[in-house]
Amino acid sequence: MRRTNSKNIFAFIYGVPVLVSVLIIANCAFLPWKSKHPEWVGGHSTQYPDSEYIIGVGSGADRQAAEDNARAEIAKVFKACIQQRSDDFEQYLQVASDNKQKIARKLDIQQVTSITTEKVLSGISVVDNYIDESSKPPTRYALAILGRAQTQNALLEKIAGADREIMSLLSAAENATDLLSTIQNLKQAITALIVREAYNEELRVVNSLGKGKPAKVTLKALKTRLAGILMNQFNLALEIDGHYKDQILQALTEAMNRSGFVINPNPSGATVMIRGIVSVTAPDIPHPTWKFVRWRANFQLIDRRDGKIFGSVIISGKEGQLTLAAAQKRAVRIMQEKLSAGVSKELTNYIFGQQEQ
């Protein structure tokens, strides 16, 4: 019978743990991610808990890119909360009149986001970096944090400042001695309240319980008040002279009505006077088949409080058609379109105290 070497048996038995240990070590060498990467790379941090911080993890080919992307991840949280209410905000920058189309006042959401987040995001700090050597090429990671308590205090200060501005504008609107000043202050109060509401949305993000600070006035109430003034008290007068004045008068009246304004047949009772002169002439331009006309319109918008000319629309052109009547008709149509757009823009810019985007 063959004997088993006892030394070999002991060597085998005691060698197994060594072999297993070697295999484990070798295996771990191929899994550096599981053993070496920081906890925060996965989007969570025990050192910076969610109850106290908003964190952002960014990656990139170099350190600067990773840190920029980490900051951007935090910024996205605030931009998203404002974007969710963008339609709501724009709705309150529209003023409607009875049975007429709306005056659409565009709100640049990016501008509001920039205004509200610039100060808040200045508190972001990059607190850690990591290089993942296992990826080819190596990937850099960065951890950015924003303290909730500090950011909440900053937002509350911004909200308090906005509240003071809104109350001041409403007081100015209430005590204004003329209608245009009332309208302009109300419109500015609405814009200030939208910025204030954006701050409040960010406060909800920062507050661990998702709570904000309600405003003393609402956007709906301010919009209703402004719309009522535009519909019932504010009105315009039109004075047009020259060629085709009836057609131009009709076009401008319809354009103003579509914008929500009322045309007062009595110029002395109007808030704003729109005065202009129109000419359409047939120049001596020799052509075997075509007939030409030159047209020109010069309009002024006048604030009847002090007689100040606050806007003007001066347009001109040349049209050609196979017949003189067709050329004249085309010239009138183009004047109607351009005057309607130009006068409406000048008027809304002045009334609402801001430039069209």
> What are the Cα distances from residue 81, in Å, to 54, 93, 299?
14, 19, 44
Out of 3.30.160.180, 3.40.50.300, 3.30.70.120, 1.10.4160.10, select the CATH number for domain 234-352: 3.30.160.180
CA distances from 248 to 14, 241, 280, 315 (A): 106, 10, 12, 13
Tell me how far apart the alpha carbons of residues 169 and 185 are, in angstroms, rounded to a whole number.
5
Instruction: List the chain domain ranges.
Output: 47-231, 234-352
Q: Model's pTM, two decimal places?
A: 0.69
Q: Is 115 exposed, middle or buried (0-12, 13-18, 19+ CB in 10 A)?
A: middle
Rounded distance between C-alpha atoms, residue 215 and residue 189, angstroms: 12
pLDDT tens over the chain, length 357 residues:
445 454 554 444 445 454 444 444 444 444 444 447 899 999 999 999 999 999 999 999 999 999 999 999 998 888 887 777 766 676 665 553 333 334 434 445 556 666 666 767 788 999 999 999 888 899 999 999 999 999 999 999 999 999 999 999 999 999 998 888 898 899 889 889 988 998 998 999 999 899 999 999 998 899 889 888 887 888 899 999 999 999 999 999 998 888 778 888 888 888 899 999 999 999 888 888 999 999 999 999 999 888 999 999 999 999 999 999 999 999 999 999 999 999 988 988 888 765 443
d(CA 94, CA 92): 5
Alpha-carbon distance values, 337 to 67, 158, 247, 315 (Å): 52, 44, 11, 11
Token pair belonging to 66: 């990773």
The residue to which tokens 């030159």 are assigned: 294
